[in-house]
Amino acid sequence: MEREGYVSLWVGEFDSREKLDDYLEIKFTEDGDALLSSFEKAFSIEYYDIDFREAVLFKQPPAAFQEILKGFSYDEIIFPRFAGQYAKGLPHSYNAVVLLYNFEYDGGSAPAKGGANQLGYIGAVFYR
């Protein structure tokens, strides 16, 4: 799953920034052991470096696929690489985006079907 130079993309819908943060939050036991976040559990991810994660909740879902990635690190590189797959746009509008850098998720490629407080995996591309 960790793979230098790759970025994995998830999109979804959340009611609030707090709910997205809670979904992504990694909690710890009293002994300092990490507990999997809801995000990690949903996608069977055992570990990723949170220093290489970017997550945004838009007030209004972007109208175009390009707007979903605008402003993220390496957006000028990753947008064209994802655009071929989604030239006509995504099947739904989404207000949440999560990117994991130096990470190539390999668990499938089904986007979220719609509904609150969930993410769907879009794909991974090389960004370097």
Rounded CA gap, 85 and 98, in Å? 18
116-120 mean pLDDT: 87
- Better-scored residue on pLDDT, 112 or 19: 19
Rounded CA gap, 12 and 6, in Å? 20
pLDDT at 109: 55
| pLDDT-based confidence at residue 93 (cuts at 50, 70, 90) | confident
Nearest to 8 by CA among 88, 74, 106, 117: 106
pTM of this structure: 0.89
Rounded CA gap, 24 and 50, in Å? 10
Under 8 Å between Cβ of 127 and 31 = no
- In DSSP terms, which residues pair with 34 in a beta bridge? 28
| pLDDT-based confidence at residue 12 (cuts at 50, 70, 90) | very high
Range of the domain at 112: 2-126
Mean model confidence pLDDT for the chain: 89
Number of domains in the chain: 1
Nearest to 7 by CA among 46, 65, 52: 52
CA 1 from chain centre, in angstroms, equals 14
